[in-house]
């Protein structure tokens, strides 16, 4: 694990010394946007027109943030328009690696340097790459899934909308709590280097899970009757929870399996056509247990738990806005 400094790769674990043992996530640096052709304005250098075959996604199958983009690529039928590269599951002193050299590159940091030779900071997935201008459009998953949700509709004819205008305020509110306490909460617990920092993350995480359990006993999805972006952002953390976070990140007050409503909801999302194929437990388990050597120095990967995500979920119909 490392980062780019002055054009060079330096091997460094996260530094928690200045923050009382707490993990602080770096903000994403590339924040361009792909927009529908009709909204594209060449004068705006941060804007890129939706085109088939022009963009490429670099992802890790282990990473929950990258996983969001794979989910949206499937939901929005973008497989033939946006191709992908999957990095190796284990990330050690060179950061993310390409299994076979790709266009003369061995490591993902080389792609970041191609986009910007002065880039400094962490080298993360997902990356949305523009083949035409040879640069990174965005390395922020929250932005990328919004682009995939809308910008390519004209090309695909898929008008499903996971961020409908009238639900945005509520989606944003739910996202905010879930991001802080669950999506990033598991990392805050797992990467904490003091008891205090760990506990400061674990209790709020389980408060939110308890709140979600109650909410999902009353309604089909996080924001009412319709499946939205908020559900998919939660999904990629939930599906990793019992397999890695519970053990490796010590978020072990309860398992997702112990929550009746959350676990049925997780199975319902997992069983949406095409989604199970985006989940790769070998990459997930290998990545966490073998990459974070300061947490698990032996790099031994546990064989369990036995999970049956194809078991019946017993929940209602799946409604999506804008579906034809
Ligand atoms: N805010 C980013 C976070 C992405 C992120 O942290 N990805 C992790 C993998 S799960 C990564 O690449 N970490 C490498 C590092 O921090 O050096 C997003 O949501 O896209």
pLDDT of residue 27: 83
Gap from CA of 125 to ligand 1 centroid (Å): 5
Q: Is the pLDDT of residue 24 over 80?
A: yes
Write down the residue that tokens 């962490």 correspond to.
122
**Is the model's pLDDT at 23 over the cut of 90?**
no
Residue found by looking up tokens 């890129």 in the block: 48
Distance in Å, CA 127 to ligand 1 centroid:
10
To the question of pTM greater than 0.90 for the whole model, the response is yes
Question: What integer is the mean pLDDT of 96-115?
Answer: 96
pLDDT of residue 91: 96
The residues lining ligand 1, judged by C-beta closer than 6 Å to any ligand atom, are 1, 28, 63, 65, 95, 122-126, 139-142
- Cα 139–chain centre separation: 11
Question: What's the CATH number for 2-156?
Answer: 3.40.30.10
Evaluated on CA atoms 275, 281, 282, 284, the torsion sign reads positive
> Given a cut of 80, is residue 209 above it in pLDDT?
yes
Q: Whose CA is nearest to atom 1 of ligand 1?
A: 140
Whether 14 shows a pLDDT value over 80: the answer reads no
Name the residue with the closest Cα to ligand 1, atom 19: 141
253 C-alpha to center of ligand 1: Å? 25
Q: Would you state the CATH architecture of domain 165-272?
A: Up-down Bundle (1.20)
**What is the rounded CA–CA span in Å between residue 107 and residue 99?**
9
When the pLDDT of each residue in the chain is averaged and rounded to a whole number, the result is 96
Task: Tell me how far CA of residue 54 lies from CA of 84, 135, 152, 241, in angstroms.
Answer: 12, 11, 12, 34
Cα–Cα distances (Å) from 317 to 222, 263, 264, in that order, read 14, 16, 13
User: For position 247, what pLDDT does the model report?
Assistant: 97
Q: In what side-by-side order are the strands of the sheet with 121-122?
A: 8-11, 2-5, 121-122
Instruction: For residue 242, name the pLDDT band (cuts at 50, 70, 90).
Output: very high
pLDDT at 324: 81
Q: According to the annotation, is 35 in a ligand binding site? A: no
In sequence order, what are the beta bridge partners of 84? 57
Residue 13 reports pLDDT greater than 80: no
pLDDT of residue 12: 82
The pLDDT of residue 201 is above 80? yes
* Higher per-residue confidence, 180 vs 15: 180
Phi, psi at 120, each rounded to 5°: -125, 140
Helices (H) then strands (E): counts for the chain = 11, 11
Give the pLDDT confidence score for residue 154 in this predicted structure: 97
Please compute the mean of the pLDDT values over residues 72-89 and round it to a whole number: 98
* Ligand 1 nearest atom to the CA of residue 64, by list position: 10
At 108, the pLDDT band (50, 70, 90 cuts) reads very high
From the CA of 95, how far away is ligand 1's center (Å)? 11
Could you state, in order of their start, the residue ranges of all structural domains in the chain? 2-156, 165-272
| Residue 42 binned pLDDT confidence (cut-offs 50, 70, 90) | confident
Residue 29 pLDDT more than 80? yes
Residue ID of nearest Cα to ligand 1 atom 11: 124
The angle subtended at Cα 67 by Cα 274 and Cα 206, nearest 5°, is 110
Mutate which of 9, 58, 125 for ligand 1? The one with the most ligand atoms within 8 Å of its CB, which is 125
- Atom 8 of ligand 1 has which residue's CA nearest to it? 124
Comparison of pLDDT for 22 and 70, the residue scoring more: 70
Distance between Cα 124 and ligand 1 center (Å) = 4
pLDDT range class, residue 163, cuts 50, 70, 90? very high
User: Using CB atoms within 10 A of its CB, is residue 68 exposed (0-12), middle (13-18) or buried (19+)?
Assistant: buried
Contact 131, 19 (CB under 8 A): no
- What is the position in ligand 1's atom list of the atom closest to the CA of 95? 17
Give the active site residues.
63, 187
Residues whose CB falls within 8 Å of the CB of residue 93, separated by 6 or more in sequence, listed in order = 1, 2, 11
Question: What is the dihedral sign for C-alpha 232, 237, 241, 243?
Answer: positive
Q: Which ranges of the chain does DSSP label H, i.e. alpha helix?
A: 64-75, 108-115, 141-150, 153-156, 168-178, 185-191, 195-218, 229-240, 246-248, 260-270, 281-291
Strand ranges (E), 19-82: 33-35, 47-49, 55-59
Q: Is 251 annotated as a binding residue?
A: no
Residue 16 binned pLDDT confidence (cut-offs 50, 70, 90)? confident
Which residues does 183 contact at the CB level (< 8 Å), separation at least 6? 64, 65, 233, 234, 236, 237
- Which atom of ligand 1 approaches the CA of 2 most closely? 17
Q: Looking at the predicted complex, does its ipTM rise above 0.95? A: yes
Nearest CA to ligand 1 atom 6: 124
């Amino acid at each position: 694990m490392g980062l780019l400094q002055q054009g060079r790769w330096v091997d460094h674990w996260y530094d928690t010394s200045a923050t009382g043992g707490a993990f602080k996530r770096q903000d994403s640096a590339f924040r361009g946007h792909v927009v529908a052709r009709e909204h594209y304005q060449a004068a705006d250098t941060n804007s890129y027109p939706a085109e088939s075959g022009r963009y490429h996604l670099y992802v890790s199958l282990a990473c929950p943030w990258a996983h969001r983009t794979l989910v949206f690529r499937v939901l929005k039928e973008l497989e033939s328009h946006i191709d992908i590269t999957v990095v190796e599951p284990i990330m050690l002193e060179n950061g993310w690696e390409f299994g076979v050299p790709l266009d003369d590159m061995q490591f993902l940091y080389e792609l970041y340097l191609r986009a910007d030779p002065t880039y400094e900071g962490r080298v993360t997935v997902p990356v949305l790459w523009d083949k035409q201008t040879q640069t990174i459009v965005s390395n922020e998953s929250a932005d990328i899934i919004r682009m995939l949700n809308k910008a390519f509709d004209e090309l695909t004819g898929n008008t499903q909308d996971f961020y409908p205008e009238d639900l945005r305020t509520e989606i944003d509110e739910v996202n905010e709590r879930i991001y802080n306490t669950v999506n990033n909460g598991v990392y805050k617990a797992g990467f904490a280097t003091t008891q205090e920092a760990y506990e400061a993350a674990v209790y709020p995480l389980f408060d939110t899970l308890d709140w979600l359990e109650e909410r999902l006993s009353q309604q089909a999805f996080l924001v009412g009757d319709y499946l939205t972006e908020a559900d998919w952002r939660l999904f990629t953390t939930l599906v990793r929870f019992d397999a890695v976070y519970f053990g490796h990140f010590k978020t072990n007050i309860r398992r997702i399996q112990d929550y009746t409503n959350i676990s049925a909801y997780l199975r319902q999302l997992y069983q949406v056509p095409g989604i199970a194929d985006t989940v790769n437990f070998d990459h997930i388990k290998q990545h966490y247990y073998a990459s974070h050597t300061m947490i698990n120095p032996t790099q031994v990967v546990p064989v369990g738990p036995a999970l049956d995500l194809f078991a019946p979920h017993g929940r209602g119909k799946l409604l999506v806005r804008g579906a034809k």
